[in-house]
């Protein structure tokens, strides 16, 4: 899999341009407040950089990277409801890569999750996908496990309609507002949402309420300890406010799930694209690795780059992160 397969350069660059314009259009003059670490709750941070008018700091305790001072929650809710970039993602960018993402991401992901939870001894009769998007993950799960009761939680009207068209039960709202499904699911999954949310701790607490005692929560998101983010830093295309505002460390993910009362917490980084992302950034702007001769020698050689990506995945050094936690049984 290559970066181009899941986020074509021309479309993704347009998405980034619209996001930068929305950063001004939707947040100019809005009130902002300093916040504690979004992962561990520690009050004490080091300012790192500014991008699109949004400042990012790293936690002096767990090392997570997060946007602060942060606009208030209603500003973000209006942004996601009305922004041009959000509409572009839902209506143009994602549909262009939906089937390639199905083959390269969702199908292998469902197969891995099925194997993982089978080994954990979890019988999955009810599953919730939070931020279900086009319903591709649920589609693939139904293909493997047609007996599972499936629920999509999706706040965007067009995406919720897409899930309904595939025959899924849908709650058209944000997870924090969902009622009637408390302790309903054996497994709740949430893919690439945590980096967007205003308050990750409250968000994880909301997801926990959907999980039955003894059930599991699974999230995938971006982590600050990943190779591509550490190397590219503020030049990383993965860090783009107002959309991506939370990048936890491995320690931060552990502490976040601990704060919400989960046990058997597991943090892995099975990412495949770190090297390709850095190599693509280098080809666009060679100066980005001016002081990184060793990294250049690794990423520009096919054999060593493949081996290095495997190393990153195995030793929790990829930016693509999977976190699972078990809800304590009564």
- 88-99, pLDDT tens digit by residue? 999 999 999 999
Residue 210 has pLDDT above 80, yes or no: yes
- Look up the pTM and report it: 0.95
pLDDT above 90 covers a percentage of the chain that reads: 96
Q: Which residues is 45 bridged to in the sheet?
A: 59
Pick the CATH number of 3-327 from 3.40.50.150, 1.10.760.10, 3.90.1150.10, 3.20.20.140: 3.40.50.150
Return mean pLDDT, the chain: 96
CA torsion angle for 237, 242, 248, 253 (degrees, to 10)?
Answer: -130
pLDDT of residue 291: 87
- 9-21, pLDDT tens digit by residue? 999 999 999 999 9
pLDDT of residue 175: 92
- 250-262, pLDDT tens digit by residue? 999 999 999 999 9
End-to-end Cα separation, the chain, in angstroms: 42
User: Do residues 35 and 59 lie in contact, with contact meaning Cβ atoms separated by under 8 Å?
Assistant: no
Mean pLDDT of the 108-122 span: 94
Mean pLDDT of the 98-125 span: 94
Kindly indicate the confidence band of residue 330, based on its pLDDT and cuts at 50, 70 and 90: confident
Spatial neighbors of 50 by CB under 8 A, at least 6 apart, are 56, 234
The domain spans of the chain are 3-327
Mean pLDDT of the 126-132 span: 97
pLDDT of residue 1: 86
């Amino acid at each position: 899999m290559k970066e181009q397969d899941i986020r074509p350069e021309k479309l993704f660059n347009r998405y980034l341009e619209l996001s930068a314009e929305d950063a001004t259009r939707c947040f100019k003059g809005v009130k902002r407040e300093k916040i504690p670490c979004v992962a561990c709750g520690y009050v004490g941070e080091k300012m790192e950089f500014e991008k699109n008018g949004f400042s990012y700091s790293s936690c002096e305790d767990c090392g997570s990277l997060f946007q602060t001072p942060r606009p208030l929650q209603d500003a973000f809710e209006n942004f996601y409801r009305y922004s041009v970039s959000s509409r572009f993602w839902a209506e143009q960018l994602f549909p262009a890569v939906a089937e390639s993402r199905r083959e390269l991401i969702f199908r292998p992901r469902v197969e891995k999750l099925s194997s993982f939870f089978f080994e954990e001894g979890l019988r999955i009769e009810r599953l919730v996908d939070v931020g279900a998007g086009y319903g591709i993950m649920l589609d693939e799960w139904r293909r493997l496990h047609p007996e599972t009761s499936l629920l999509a939680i999706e706040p965007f009207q067009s995406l919720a309609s897409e899930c309904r068209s595939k025959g899924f039960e849908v709650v058209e709202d944000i997870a924090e507002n969902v009622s009637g499904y408390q302790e309903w699911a054996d497994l709740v999954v949430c893919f690439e949402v945590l980096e967007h949310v205003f308050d990750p701790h409250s968000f994880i607490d909301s997801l926990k309420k959907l999980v039955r005692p003894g059930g599991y929560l699974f999230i995938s998101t971006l982590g600050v300890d990943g190779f591509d983010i550490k190397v590219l830093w503020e030049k990383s295309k993965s860090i783009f406010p107002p959309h991506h505002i939370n990048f936890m460390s491995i320690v931060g993910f552990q502490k976040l799930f601990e704060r919400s009362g989960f046990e058997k917490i597991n943090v892995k980084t099975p990412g495949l694209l770190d090297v390709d992302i850095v190599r693509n950034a280098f080809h666009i702007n060679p100066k980005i690795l001016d002081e990184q001769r060793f990294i250049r020698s690794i990423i520009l050689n096919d054999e060593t780059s493949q081996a290095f990506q495997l190393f990153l995945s195995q030793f929790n050094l990829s930016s693509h992160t999977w976190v699972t936690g078990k809800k304590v049984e009564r």
